[in-house]
């Protein structure tokens, strides 16, 4: 039976994930192919599933005055403070939390692998961008499944591209430039925490969706 997000967040697969715990700022450039400080400038950067926030602490010390970084993670295993004034760390579920402002950069480094409603997070994050803001995340389309367990396949990638996302299978990156309210033709029904390792070699979570009729 598919797990709801509350049950999923108590799963050992999610609780024990190690993908983000000690990530440095240079790793963000390697994993996402961007320069986070340059993308943020004097604006705002949101990092979902930020892990220990070691990289964000490093970045906050290098940003110009007026810039802001917000890190969100399910557990509060953040590096010990005091933290730079520009850095705000929040313990919350990425599927339930919502900001009160918009961001010039939104990142999620390998965090979507452990989230239930992955498509829901992507569509919400697209609406949190500034007009020229960048959303970029690691994303595995193989983790999006029909209720019978079969992959969503080309129908999914077509729907994402029609919504303005760019997906690169070789790097497993999904991105979007500029704010937009997006509705994808899928209904989330739950998650499977027994999916086994994904392309990273780590155990991950499959997300189950029912396609809307006519898509």
Q: For the chain, which residues make up each domain, given as ranges?
A: 5-211
pLDDT at 24: 87
pLDDT at 49: 94
Q: How many CB atoms lie within 10 A of CB 112?
A: 24
CA dist 144 and 153 (Å) reads 8
What are the strands, taking DSSP E only, across the chain?
44-48, 68-73, 87-91, 103-108, 129-138, 144-145, 166-168, 173-177, 186-192, 206-211
pLDDT means over runs of 10, the chain (215 residues): 90 71 85 96 96 94 94 91 94 96 97 97 98 98 96 96 97 98 97 94 95 74
Cβ-contact 109, 49 below 8 angstroms = yes
Residue 34 phi/psi, 5-degree rounding, is -130, 170
Q: Are strands 103-108 and 129-138 parallel, antiparallel or unpaired?
A: parallel
pLDDT at 88: 97
Give the residue from 17, 34, 33, 120 showing the smallest Cα distance to 73. Answer: 17
pLDDT at 215: 55
Residues forming beta bridges with residue 151, ordered by sequence position: 145
pLDDT at 77: 87
pLDDT at 76: 87
**5-211 in CATH: which number?**
3.40.50.150
pTM of the model: 0.95
In 54-203, which ranges are continuous DSSP H helix? 54-60, 118-126, 153-162
**Would you give the end-to-end CA distance of the chain in angstroms?**
25
pLDDT at 20: 56
């Amino acid at each position: 039976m598919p797990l709801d997000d509350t049950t999923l967040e108590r799963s050992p697969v999610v609780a024990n994930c190690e993908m983000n715990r000690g990530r440095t700022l240079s790793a963000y450039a390697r994993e996402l192919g961007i320069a986070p400080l340059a993308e943020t400038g004097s604006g705002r950067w949101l990092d979902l599933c930020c892990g220990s926030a070691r990289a964000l602490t490093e970045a906050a010390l290098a940003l110009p005055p007026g810039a802001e970084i917000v890190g969100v993670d399910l557990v509060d295993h953040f590096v010990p403070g005091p933290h730079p004034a520009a850095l705000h760390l929040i313990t919350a579920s990425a599927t339930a939390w919502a900001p009160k402002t918009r961001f010039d950069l939104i990142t999620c480094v390998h965090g979507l692998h452990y989230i239930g409603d992955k498509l829901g997070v992507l569509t919400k994050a697209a609406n949190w961008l500034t007009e020229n803001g960048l959303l970029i995340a690691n994303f595995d389309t193989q983790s999006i499944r029909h209720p019978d367990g079969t992959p969503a396949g080309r129908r999914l990638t077509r729907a994402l591209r029609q919504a303005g996302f760019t997906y690169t299978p070789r790097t497993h990156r999904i991105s979007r430039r500029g704010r937009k309210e997006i509705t994808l033709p899928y209904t989330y029904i739950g998650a499977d925490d027994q999916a086994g390792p994904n392309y990273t070699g780590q155990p991950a979570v499959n997300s189950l969706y029912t396609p809307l009729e006519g898509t």
